Amino acid sequence: MVVTGLTWLGTRTEHYAATVALFRDVMSLEVRELTDSFAWFQLPNGDQVEVFGAGDPDHTFFTTGPVIGFQVNDLDQARIELEAAGVEFIGPIHGTPGGRWSHFHGPDGNVYEITGS
């Protein structure tokens, strides 16, 4: 799977390790910084994702995560890879060629999506 874009995503989670593993190991996001309660990832276009664990004191107001779309180069293949990793999708792929998306549950309980052609 190749994730090609996202401006910024910030999420706080009780399931920090599982969320970091999804972003790092399944979605192959580049790790810029990793501590016990903070992970910073950067995508090829410079967009950023930050994950805050329960031990992070600065983001206690992050009580629910935003729904963010991860742009992927091949939506169908990305969905196959995520499903193989145990990710649960919410319904089928939606949209038409040139603008398709599919929502899924992350291990942190938030809803995310992959988007692509």
**pLDDT tens digits, residue range 18-68?**
999 999 999 999 999 999 999 999 999 888 898 989 898 877 756 656 668
Per the structure, the count of domains in the chain is 1
CATH number for the domain spanning 69: value is 3.10.180.10
The domain containing residue 90 runs over which residues?
3-116
Contacts for 47 with CB less than 8 Å, ≥ 6 apart = 5, 6, 7, 8
Q: What percent of the chain has pLDDT over 70?
A: 92
Model confidence pTM above 0.95:
no
**Residue 46 corresponds to which tokens in the numbers above?**
């410079």
* Confidence band for 12, pLDDT divided at 50, 70 and 90: confident
